[in-house]
Amino acid sequence: MNPRHPNVFSTGLAPSGSRRWIMLFMITVHHLETSRSQRVLWLLEELGVLYEIQRYQRDPKTRLAPAALKAIHPLGKSPVITDGDETVAESGAILEYLVERYGAQAPGELAHLQSAPGTAQHRQSRFWMHYAEGSLMNWLVMKLVFVTIPTQPMPFFVRPIARKLCAQVQAKLIDPNIVTAMAFMETHLGSHVWFAGEHLSIADFQMSFAVEAALARGVEVARFPRLAAYKARMRARPAYQRAVTKGGPVVMS
C-alpha cells in the first residue's frame, strides 16, 4: 500500500526496478441523512462491496438537501454514487447498476437478486421496482409535506387555517390512498415472503424505504401485521443493521 494514498497498491517491481502502482477505486455513496440512499447502503452491505460514505446534512429549517450535492450531480439529490468514472443517480438506477456490476457472484439467497426474464419472479420484481417510486412514495411524500406545513413559520392568524386545510387534505385524499397501498402490500405479503417471492430480490431494496415510511407515517398501522412482519425480517438482517449503523435513521421523525 502506498502510505500517502491508501487506495493505491503496489504490484511489485517493474523490469526497470521501479515500483508499479495500481489504483483501487472505491464506490462513494453521497448519502443524505434520512433519505432513500439508505437502500443503497443496505445493498452494498449485502454484496460486501467496498464503499465509503460522503455525508450530507439537511437544512435544519427547510429539511432540503444542501446545495453541495449539485457538485456531484446537476439534480442535487440523493442518492448518488460515484464508481471510478461513473456517476449514477436515482435509487432504482443505482440498485440496478450495482446488481448488474457486482451481483453476479453473490452467494446463497443473494443469487436471486435478479430473476430470469420471463419468470413470475422477474415480473413481480419489475412491478415493485416501479411501484415504489411511481405510486407509493408520491403519497408518502405528500403526507410528510402536509404534516410539516402547519409547523412552518407563518402569521399566527394563518396557522389555524393552514392546520385545518392540511388536515382535510390528509383525511380526504392522502390517508385513504396510503391505506389502500398498505392493504395492497399486506395482501401480497400473505403469499410472498419477499416482494418478488421466496427470495430476497432487488425489489426489496427498492421497497425498503417505502415500507419504513409507510409504517412510520401511515394510519391504522395495526391493521397490517404482515407488513410489520416484513419490516421486522428486513431489520433482522445483519447487513441492514450495519447499513443503519453507518447511515443513521432511515426516515425523518
What's the confidence (pLDDT) of residue 10? 33
Query: What pTM does this model have?
Result: 0.84
- In contact, 32 and 70? CB cutoff 8 Å: no
Look at residues 247, 219, 220 and name the one whose alpha carbon lies nearest to residue 147. Answer: 219
The CATH number of the structural domain formed by 115-247 is 1.20.1050.10
Q: Which residue has the higher pLDDT, 22 or 51?
A: 51
Q: Where are the beta strands (DSSP E) in the chain?
A: 8-13, 19-23, 27-32, 51-56, 80-83, 86-89
Name the segment(s) of the chain with CATH classification 3.40.30.10: 27-106
Name the segment(s) of the chain with CATH classification 1.20.1050.10: 115-247
Residues 6+ apart with CB under 8 A from 226: 186, 189, 190
Question: Which residues is 12 bridged to in the sheet?
Answer: 20
Q: Could you tell me the three cell numbers for 84?
A: 471510478
- In contact, 84 and 173? CB cutoff 8 Å: no
- In contact, 29 and 52? CB cutoff 8 Å: yes
Q: Three-state DSSP class for 211? A: helix
pLDDT band at 36, cuts 50/70/90?
A: confident
Query: What's the pLDDT tens digit per position in 218-238?
Result: 778 899 999 999 999 999 999
Sheet holding 27-32, edge to edge: 51-56, 27-32, 80-83, 86-89
Mean pLDDT of all residues belonging to the chain = 86
Report d(CA 112, CA 229) in Å as an integer: 21
Architecture of domain 27-106: 3-Layer(aba) Sandwich (3.40)
Calculate what percentage of the chain has a pLDDT beyond 90: 59
pLDDT band at 135, cuts 50/70/90?
A: very high
Report d(CA 2, CA 11) in Å as an integer: 11
What's the confidence (pLDDT) of residue 252? 59
What's the confidence (pLDDT) of residue 220? 85
